[in-house]
Chain A
């Protein structure tokens, strides 16, 4: 194995969550200083370890994926490696010039033109002026914005803006590259281009640490992967092994859904189970495109208070994290009140229109403006090939997002034979 480019030992990061806002008013600080003799030390605030005792070593030229649920510590780890924030404990060794890409378009200014923003953004990402000038045409070309390069970016469409932002970032050439979920940008064609560019970077001998929810992308780009779970390193090994472990983790969410700690809301109701299965079948059965499909959500009422006018949302996202659709009771005119100890909500989607593939579900319970329970990535499920159009033929579409019912007709005008 080659020399280590990144070495991390016993890395931990603690955040205070007790205070509503991390910054203080002067009055508060003075009051605290004055009252200190009469109170305990301020260490009694609630703390959370975003990262706990993580050690890992990444060799020079290795491309490593970093996966895990939201809140598992992926972004915190990247921020520490990028020197944006300091670890509470542990040490980091980096051998080589580091470039980090935690979002695209950092420092873009709405009033400046595309050209000006390329220089500004490049400088912020750590590129030299000469380097930016050299790559300028390539960047503009990649972003496909030649015609608008001297227009303020506030007049850009979202797509153009993101393409330009990604293009600048993609031309960064550090020895160690840290990337956080920046591929889900633009339309499908541009995403393909981004993936291609990332592939070039990955093969270019650079050390890359790559965070993504796009497991297919991680598998395509990385040889090895790290799985973080609640701030701890759960697994570090070959990418296929790690991805399948992670997939099992989110697929078996049924068992662990009620045990999930990273939920938000006041928790008057807690979602304990979610089943997705065909209406003419049982929980656990395969879901196919075109089947009438049941989304059944079980809840527990742990504090005995009643909830009026509950709004339930089941958000369905594809593997790139793009929102596909939201199943919601409120817009359909169904009112839900409950004071039961437990129960379930059942939503039936006739002729499931999702194209075959992998999907992730976010759950959200709300009463008026108050969040009751919110679980992100509560469940992953797979939609298999099916007979959407009821023709007895399987669908093989893998592009686009959904099937829509449609009818076709052909009417011919005139005849190629001429009038008889």
Chain B
């Protein structure tokens, strides 16, 4: 897969991430506060409509905390997917003028979302302190779950960014995809609700994990908020689909990247 070349260009990767981060909040009044406001306001709306009015369960956790932690993982994924899918077409200027491994572009687009994740994270600590919820040993699994979220975002991002070069339909598909994906991922509701329903049909709960973000979101809650049961099978099946997406994404991207400069 010629990944060694990617390593040789790690400084370029670093500079592209740095540029994205630097430029993202320039000329905005609130700057990086947006990274907190987006998930926080969404969590507030979810709490009001889904938690209070619709009375959706939250596995015994306070609903605001439940939804904010879920949104933290989800926002990282959704932003990464959105940014990276447009990244190759958006970098047409570079692609037609300079050679470098094209993989750098969508990967940098996803990685720049880490900064937003890091900015929004302390809010969780404040909320946990407020609700007197403390993490256990499962917290140690958090970096692995973040990595899994990254793998899933890059995997999908590679597919979409490469397809977008050839089929500009992708631009219209992405917002729609992100919306649908949010609803099929246990962000608003706990996975346990769906698992119970599935088991009624004799379908094992890990099937939910075929959506890689199901494992990541549930995993985030387990690691941070100490959910009673370990969502092991769910995370395992999510890891498998995540890796399949990543590897197939790299192969597809590699197979079409040689024509990028002529088509983009």
Contacts and interface: CB of A to CB of B under 8 A. Distances in A.
Contact of B23 (A15, A107, A112): A112
A100 B166 contact: no
Nearest to B15: A123
A82 B23 contact: no
A123 B23 contact: no
B59 to A, nearest CB: 40
A100 B26 contact: no
B93 A22 contact: no
Interface residues of B, number: 29
Interface string A30-58: 00000000000000000000000000000
Nearest to A124: B98
Contacts of A102: 97-98
| Secondary structure call for the B interface | helix
Contacts of A98: 99
A344 B56 CA distance: 82
Nearest to B94: A107
A79 B11 contact: no
Given A23-B165, A26-B169, A84 B96 contact: yes
A98 B99 CA distance: 10
Given A120-B19, A124-B94, A124-B100, A84 B167 contact: no
Given A107-B98, A125-B98, A25 B262 contact: no
B93 A86 contact: no
A15 B262 contact: yes
A103 B19 contact: no
A332 interface: no
Contacts of B2: none
Contacts of A79: 96, 261
Nearest to B91: A107
A86 B262 CA distance: 9
A129 B11 contact: yes
B263 interface: yes
B94 A109 contact: no
Contacts of B14: 123
A106 B98 contact: yes
A112 B19 contact: yes
Give the most central of B19, B167, B168: most A CB within 10 Å.
Answer: B19
Contacts of B93: 106-107
A116 interface: yes
Contacts of A86: 258-259
A335 interface: no
Nearest to B27: A111
B124 interface: no
Contact of B97 (A106, A111, A120): A106
A346 interface: no
A178 B253 CA distance: 27
A125 B9 CA distance: 11
Given A29-B167, A85-B262, A126 B100 contact: yes
Size class of the contact patch on chain A: 20 to 34
A112 B19 CA distance: 8
B53 to A, nearest CB: 39
A103 B97 contact: yes
Contact of A111 (B26, B99, B166): B26
A25 B165 CA distance: 10
A23 B94 contact: no
B259 A25 contact: no
B139 interface: no
Q: Which one of B95, B96, B264 has the highest number of Cβ atoms from chain A below 10 Å of its Cβ?
A: B96
Nearest to B12: A123
Interface in A4-28: 15, 22-27
Interface in B124-183: 165-169
A119 interface: yes
Nearest to B23: A111
A308 interface: no
Contacts of A123: 11-12, 14-15
A24 B97 contact: no
B19 A109 contact: yes
A106 B165 CA distance: 20
A417 B261 CA distance: 77
B99 A83 contact: yes
A109 B263 contact: no
A120 B166 contact: no
A116 B22 contact: yes
B250 to A, nearest CB: 19
A125 B12 CA distance: 9
Contacts of A124: 12, 15, 94, 98, 100
Contact of B99 (A24, A25, A84): A84
Contacts of B11: 123, 128-129
Nearest to A108: B93
A24 B100 contact: no
A109 to B, nearest CB: 6
Contacts of B99: 82-84, 98, 100
Given A26-B169, A82-B99, A109 B259 contact: no
Contacts of B100: 124, 126
A129 B263 CA distance: 31
Nearest to B258: A86
Interface in A228-255: none
Most central of B18, B22, B97 by chain A CB within 10 Å: B97
A98 B261 CA distance: 18
Interface string B18-36: 1100110011000000000
Given A109-B23, A116-B22, A125-B98, 13 more contacts: A23-B263, A24-B166, A24-B167, A25-B168, A26-B167, A29-B167, A82-B98, A84-B95, A84-B99, A111-B23, A116-B19, A124-B12, A126-B98
12 contacts: A22-B262, A23-B167, A23-B168, A23-B263, A24-B167, A25-B167, A25-B168, A98-B99, A100-B99, A106-B98, A109-B23, A112-B23
Interface of A: 15, 22-27, 29, 79, 82-86, 98, 100, 102-103, 106-107, 109, 111-112, 116, 119-120, 123-126, 128-129
The 8 A-B residue pairs with the shortest CB-CB distance, nearest first, are A123-B15, A83-B99, A26-B169, A85-B261, A106-B97, A86-B258, A26-B167, A102-B97
